[in-house]
Amino acid sequence: MGIFDKIKHAIFGEAVAAPVTPSATPTPPPTAAAPSAAPSAPSQPTPATASPAAAAIDIVPLLDAAVKKSGQKLDWRRSIVDLMKAVGMDASLAERKELAAELGFTGDPHDTATMNMFLHKALMKRLAENGGKVPADLLD
C-alpha cells in the first residue's frame, strides 16, 4: 500500500478505500428490502450501485474532525505536513519524498517548499479523482 492509499484510507475509511466492494453492497439491500416486493428488488440494485459510485465523500468535515481529534492547530487546507499529521501519518521528509514519487513530482526533491505545494495540490486532485468531494479552491 502506497502513501497515497494510506492517506485515502485514513480520510475515507475502509468502506471507500476498497472500491471493489460496491458489487457486494447492492446484494444486502435487496435481501433486506425485498421480502414483500420481489419485482422491485431487481430495480433497486441499479440505483444502489450508482449511488455509492456517484456520491462523492466530502473531505472537509472528515479532515476538520481529524484536526480536532488530533488536538493540534493544523492547517490541512494549505499544508501537506499538517494534513498528514491530522490523519495520524508520519509527515517526515522521507514519507513526503515517497509520496512525491507516487504522485509524479519531477522537480528537485531538495526544494521542499515547491515539493510540498505540489504534493498538496496533487493530493487534492487525486482525492477528487478517487471519490472525494474537494473544495474548488483546493483544486486549482
As a whole number of angstroms, the distance between CA 64 and CA 37 comes to 42
* pLDDT bucket at 80, cuts 50 / 70 / 90: very high
- Burial, 104: exposed, middle or buried (Cβ in 10 Å; 0-12, 13-18, 19+)? exposed
Q: State yes or no: pLDDT of 11 exceeds 70.
A: yes
- Each domain of the chain, given as residue ranges in start order, spans 3-13+56-138, 15-54
- 63 in Cβ contact with 131 (< 8 Å): no
Angle 93-103/112-129 helices, nearest 10 degrees? Answer: 50
- 57 in Cβ contact with 12 (< 8 Å): yes
Per-chain mean pLDDT for the chain: 80
Element (H, E) at 43: helix 40-43
* pLDDT bucket at 16, cuts 50 / 70 / 90: low
* pLDDT bucket at 1, cuts 50 / 70 / 90: confident
3-state helix, strand, coil split of the chain in percent (to 5) is 65, 5, 35
Global pTM value = 0.71
Alpha carbon of residue 94 to chain centroid: 21
Tally of CB atoms within 10 A around 77? 16
19 against 127, higher pLDDT:
127
